[in-house]
Homo-oligomer: A and B are copies of this chain.
Amino acid sequence: MDKYEQTLESTYIYQGKILSLRKDQVQLPNGKTSVREIVEHAGAVSIVPVTEEGNIILVKQYRKPVEQETIEIPAGKLDQGERPEDCAQRELREEIGFSGDLDLKFSYYTTPGFSDELLYLYVARNLKHAPLACDDDELIEKLEVSLEEAMHMITQGEIVDAKTIIGILTLKQEGHL
C-alpha cells in the first residue's frame, strides 16, 4: 500500500532559534489534497547517567511550554554539524558536571505527527567529574534516584517527560532490549 504524500507547495511561516514552522500542501495517494503543519527541529540527544551504585542522575528545570518544573534526564539540542555523541558529552558536562562512557541505545522521533525532531538515547556509565559552565538561560538542579524510585515517579506523575520515561524504561529493560 503506497501512502506517500507528494508536496504540492511548501511555505515557511516562521524560522526561529530552536524551531521553524512550515505548512505543506500535499497530495494523498487517493488524489485528495490536505495540509500538513510541520515543526522543523535540529534534533537532540538524551542521556541516562547511571552511577556506580546503579542510581540515575536526573535534572529539574523550568519548562515554559508546560509552565512547570519537570524532572528529566540530561538532554539538549544538537548544534549545527555536531556529532550526537559529542553533544551527549557536552550536555552531560553542562547539566550534571560529568563525563562518561556512552552507549547508544537507539534513536526515535519525538512527535512524527507534527515534527521531524529526532532524539538519540544514550546510557552513560563510569561517570567522572568534568564540569563545564552551564548555559546562561538554563537553571538546573540535580537529583539522584534509584531505578525503582524512578519507575514509581512515572506512575505517580512526578516524571511526565516522554524522553525521560523512555530512558528509564529502557534502562529497566536493558538485558532485554
Which residues of A line the B interface, CB within 8 A? 1, 3-5, 13-14, 16-19, 21, 23-24, 26, 28-30, 32, 34-39, 41, 44, 60-66, 69-70, 72, 75, 105-117, 119, 136-137, 139, 141, 151, 154-155, 157, 159-163, 165-166, 169-170, 172-173, 176-177
Distance between Cα atoms of A39 and B39 in the complex (Å): 8
Report copies per complex. 2
Residues of B within 8 A of A70 (CB): 109, 112
**Complexed CA–CA distance, A117 and B106 (Å):** 23
Q: A137–B34 Cα gap in the complex (Å)?
A: 7
Name the residue on B nearest A117 (C-beta).
B111
